[in-house]
Amino acid sequence: MGCMKGFHQNVVKPNSMKLLRIICNMGIYEYTRIPFGIKIAPGHLQRMMDTIFQEEVLEGWMVVYIDDNILYSETWEDYLQYIHRVLSKCTPINLKFSLNKCNFAQQELLALAHQVSGLSLAKGHNKVAEVMQKPVPRNIKK
């Protein structure tokens, strides 16, 4: 399950807004949400998600990596219960997930360049090797 605009779901504290100012010909603007590109953004989002889903991670059926979450279970009933529990936790705090980034009830998935299933963990598709096998471009258009 992937968060919808994960960084932008984090509110910037009022005393930190001045550090995120943008000055342009239309005026001075301050971010009210954490923007992409600032050094602390990934760590801040990871801490936020770890805090929200601490119980689920400690119980051993959820993995959180920045704005991506993986839920796993041994039974379909447990899986449905876990999904309900996660979504119930997100609703009151207005944490949203992108349906385009969610894959529910998968036997196997690609996560952090690894093929993950209930039985194995293997390196995922090697894109570098695939690119290296392509012919060297002979002009700018290629």
Q: What is the pLDDT of residues 48-76, one digit of tens each?
A: 889 999 999 999 988 888 888 888 888 99
Helix/strand/coil for 129: helix
Nearest to 60 by CA among 51, 50, 47, 71: 71
Residue 130: is its pLDDT beyond 70? yes
In the structure encoding, which two tokens stand for residue 38, read together?
């600032």
Nearest to 6 by CA among 92, 129, 97, 72: 97
pLDDT average, residue stretch 110-126: 73
The pLDDT, as a whole number, for residue 115 is: 78
Axis crossing angle, helix 41-52 with helix 76-93, rounded to the nearest 10: 120
Q: Are 68 and 1 in contact (CB under 8 A)?
A: yes
C-alpha 46/C-alpha 63 separation (Å) is 11
pLDDT band at 82 (very low <50, low <70, confident <90, very high): very high
pLDDT band at 4 (very low <50, low <70, confident <90, very high): low
In the structure encoding, which two tokens stand for residue 106, read together?
């998968």
